[in-house]
Amino acid sequence: MNDLFNQNNLDIKIEPKIEESWKEVLKDEFSKLYFVELKKFLIEEKKKYRIFPPGNLIFNAYNLTPFYKVKVVILGQDPYHGFGQAHGLCFSVPKGVPKPPSLINIFKELKDDLNIDPPNHGDLTQWALQGVFLINAILTVRENQASSHRNKGWENFTDATIKALSSKRENLVFLLWGKFAQEKKYLIDQHKHLVLEAAHPSPYSAAGFFGCRHFSKTNEYLVSKGISPINWKID
């Protein structure tokens, strides 16, 4: 976990290895007490547990989708906690890892909405590179212990992320799937952005997710604002 941060011996300010535009936008967060405590927590956790995703991928969503290139925000809760699953993008898994049930349902809705066949893998990097910011509210987790890093400080950081996108950008699309994501709606200025809500794509609630047509609605909105749409097809 030490590869996550650079810290001078005499300087309490912590600077994560994060893409430059995000580092500038979120610079005030890195010296706040919660972030200092979060770093200490993560270092201690790594001594006792296996933590996902790997340190170099914790800020993967930020690094793949710079602040000024974000078009769409998909908000997840916390990383997958099985070995090899999490790689810093919500709902996504690396190639070669079986697709989780929620992701299978996302691809089902994509097929029904835009007649796009699902890929043979679950890596959503192609979306991220086009401006789909795939962010979890909590960026790390212990192996096999869901929500184990809840209320340790990540929520402060990702709330600040959402606020920055809402205040400094215009005409973004926020896709809020499930109650947890929808509770973040208050952070978003709906006069400047489009917020689309649906049930979570988990098998437990997917009946309320299917038919939401969020992929086509997102592109319709972007085009209406003179913004190039997302190519949702993944190779």
Exactly one of 11, 78, 112, 123 is catalytic; name it. Answer: 78
Residue pair 207/223 in contact by the 8 Å Cβ criterion? no
Residue pair 124/65 in contact by the 8 Å Cβ criterion? no
Stated as kind and residue range, the H or E segment containing 4 is none
- Residue 189 bears catalytic tag: no
Distance between CA 202 and CA 199 in Å, rounded? Answer: 8
Local structure of residue 227 (DSSP, 8 states): -
Distance between CA 97 and CA 158 in Å, rounded? Answer: 26
Which positions ≥6 away from 183 have C-beta within 8 Å? none
Tokens 């769409």 belong to 72
DSSP code per residue over 67-110? GGG--EEEEESS---STTT-SSSTT---TTSPPPHHHHHHHHHH
Which sequence positions are flagged as catalytic? 78
